[in-house]
């Protein structure tokens, strides 16, 4: 699938200020912590403290972005939020954020329930909507507070996940002003490989104090071996498919979902790209679920106007995976915000 005439003109991301290092996790011995960091590439994560929610991380990202890029909230026609850990069961986070921006009754706003594939899926949703409804500007916002739905004694999930939010500002112009090629896929038969059976919200009114209670159906379950096999099989094929459609051998920058170092190293080797940069954010932020791709762009290119052919590939919960290839033409990458 190809969408023309829509381009990303700005990206911002926000993380909590609180840092938890892997060697501070009580369930790990020093040797276990060292081994975990070596295999996953994760040394620390940012965790949301009580009173901080997805809307806070997203709104901080938007404030930073609109301070850096000269676009007014009143010019934005749609606000899309992708999250699996919203502030409330209903209504969605997008409606709350639109209101905080002072755009009540002025913009289309809705939520989408997706995780690790959020960036390519979100760009496809936003760019298609802009083309159909003739919208000049759209905000794609992404956020998750995954740490609150991981039991602190579950070493298959808790040490992996950090919290973050992001905002991507899209502009519609002439067909030659931008392009996006997409490869989007799903396989619900693998839905139990990353699974939250009941209402595991990180909301203002959670159904349970998930951090303190016994592990239960509101906590995330992760079948790591299955996810590893899925990722190393599907991601390279998706990346190659989108490059084939675009008739391009390789991008300038390839941003993978930041699941863990072992998965990403395998994918990078299998692609055998020559002069292509694979940025990472794992060491200091861990797996930030839906936000890993924009956060990785911000932590590696923040404070610059980026011009490059960028390919991003997300894969995970669903099971869902996809890639997007797009041209950044002086896309403003804001510096990281702490909340």
The tally of domains found in the chain comes to 1
HEC secondary structure over the chain: CEEECEEEEEEEEEECCCEEEHHHCCCCCHHHHHHHHHHHCCCEEECCCCCCCHHHHHHHHHHHHHHHCCCCHHHEEEEEEECCCCCCCCCCHHHHHHHHCCCCCCCEEEEECCCCCHHHHHHHHHHHHHHHHCCCEEEEEEEEEHHHHCCCCCCCCCCCECEEEEEEEEEECCHHHCEEEEEEEECHHHHHHEECCCCCCCCCCCCCCCCCCCCCCCCCEECHHHHHHHHHHHHHHHHHHHHHHHCCCCCCEEEECCCCHHHHHHHHHHHCCCCCECCCCHHHHCECHHHHHHHHHHHHHCCEEEEEEEEEEEEECCCEEEEEEEEEEEEEECCCEEC
CA–CA dist 158, 82 (Å, integer)? 22
The model's pLDDT over 7-63, given as tens digits with 9 standing for 90+, comes to 999 999 999 999 999 999 988 889 999 999 999 999 999 999 988 999 999 999 999
Distances (CA, A) of 204 to 45, 99, 217, 256, 294: 22, 17, 19, 31, 25
Question: For each of the chain's 339 residues, which pLDDT tens digit applies?
Answer: 889 899 999 999 999 999 999 999 988 889 999 999 999 999 999 999 988 999 999 999 999 999 999 999 999 999 999 999 999 888 899 999 999 999 878 899 999 999 999 999 999 999 999 999 999 999 999 999 999 888 888 888 889 999 999 999 999 976 566 789 999 999 989 887 666 777 656 666 665 455 556 676 667 676 778 877 988 899 999 999 999 999 999 999 999 999 999 999 999 999 999 999 999 999 999 999 999 999 999 999 999 999 999 999 999 888 899 999 999 999 999 999 999
Compute CA distances 106 → 133, 241, 250, whole Å.
14, 38, 41
For the CA atoms of the chain, what is the radius of gyration? 19
pLDDT of residue 197: 75
The reported pLDDT for the residue numbered 214 is 65
Residue 220 is predicted with a pLDDT of: 66
* Exposed e or buried b per residue across 300-337, where buried means at least 16 C-beta atoms within 10 angstroms of its C-beta: bbbeeebeebbbbbbbbbbbbbbbbbbbbeebbbbebb
Domain that holds residue 87: 1-339
Q: Would you state the pLDDT for residue 176?
A: 61
CATH number at residue 105: 3.40.47.10
- Model confidence pLDDT, tens digit, residues 182-208: 999 999 898 876 667 776 566 666 654
């Amino acid at each position: 699938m190809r969408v023309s005439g829509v381009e990303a003109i700005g990206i911002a991301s926000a993380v909590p200020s609180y840092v938890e290092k892997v060697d501070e996790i009580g369930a790990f011995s020093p040797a276990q912590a060292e081994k975990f960091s070596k295999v996953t590439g994760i040394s620390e994560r940012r965790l949301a403290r009580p009173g901080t929610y997805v809307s806070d991380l997203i709104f901080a990202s938007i404030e930073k972005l609109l301070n850096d890029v000269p676009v007014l909230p009143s010019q934005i026609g749609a606000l899309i939020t992708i999250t699996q850990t919203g502030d409330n069961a209903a209504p969605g986070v997008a409606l709350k954020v639109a209101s905080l921006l002072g755009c009540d009754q002025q913009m289309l706003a809705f939520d989408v329930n997706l995780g690790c594939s959020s960036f390519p899926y979100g760009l496809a949703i936003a760019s298609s909507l802009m083309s159909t409804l003739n919208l000049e500007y759209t905000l794609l916002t992404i956020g998750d507070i995954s740490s609150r739905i991981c039991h602190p004694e579950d070493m298959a999930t808790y040490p992996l996940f950090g919290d973050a939010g992001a905002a991507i500002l899209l502009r519609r112009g002439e067909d030659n002003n931008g392009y996006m090629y997409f490869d989007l896929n799903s396989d619900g038969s693998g839905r139990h490989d990353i699974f939250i059976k009941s209402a595991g919200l990180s909301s203002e009114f959670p159904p349970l104090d998930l951090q303190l209670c016994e592990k239960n159906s509101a906590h995330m379950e992760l079948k790591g071996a299955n996810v590893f096999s899925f990722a190393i099989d599907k991601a390279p094929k998706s990346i190659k498919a989108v490059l084939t459609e675009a008739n391009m051998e390789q991008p300038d920058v390839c941003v993978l979902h930041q699941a863990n170092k072992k998965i990403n190293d395998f994918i990078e080797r299998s692609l055998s790209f020559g002069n292509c940069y694979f940025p990472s954010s794992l060491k200091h932020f861990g797996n930030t679920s839906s936000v890993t791709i924009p956060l990785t762009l911000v932590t590696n290119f923040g404070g610059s106007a980026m011009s490059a052919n960028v390919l991003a590939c997300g894969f995970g919960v669903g099971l869902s995976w996809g890639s997007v290839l797009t041209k950044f033409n002086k896309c403003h990458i804001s510096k990281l915000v702490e909340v």
